Amino acid sequence: MKTKLDNFWTLPELQIVDEYEIERDREYLMEMYPAKARLIMVMVEDACDKLEYEGSPMFAMYPDRETIYGISRIIYDKVRYNDTDQNLKHMIDVMLCNEFFVRRSRYKRRRKFF
């Protein structure tokens, strides 16, 4: 049985997240990435910046796997060298999916309050 106190903890004003603090912490940790990973992250962020609009496939309930892999393939073609490195491709896939997650989470948190 729920009490008034249970409802108190679910008030939206008590669930406010300091977006600036989260982003600052994220940037600090990303500074520890190896140089090549930082270069890739810049490209991943740039690709995601272009997809950050209402109705974007990035914000779909279930993002299309081919869209994600297509973006990843474009980034991979820009950063790969003479040989094909599957580990590099996998790293780009993971970084891109993680960036999608971060932006989708931020989008959902902001939509709750507006």
Residue 63 domain flag: yes
> DSSP string of 49-91?
HHT-STT-GGGSSS--HHHHHHHHHHHHHHH--SS--HHHHHH
Residue 62 domain flag: yes
Residue 47 domain flag: yes
Q: Check residue 17 and report its DSSP letter.
A: -
Residue 2 domain flag: no
Residue 58 domain flag: yes
Reported as a single tens digit per residue, the pLDDT across 92-112 is 999 999 999 999 988 887 776
pLDDT at 7 over 60: no
Full residue range of the structural domain in which residue 72 is found: 34-113
Residue 75 domain flag: yes
Residue 28 domain flag: no
pLDDT at 114 over 70: no
Number of domains composing the chain: 1
Residue 4 domain flag: no
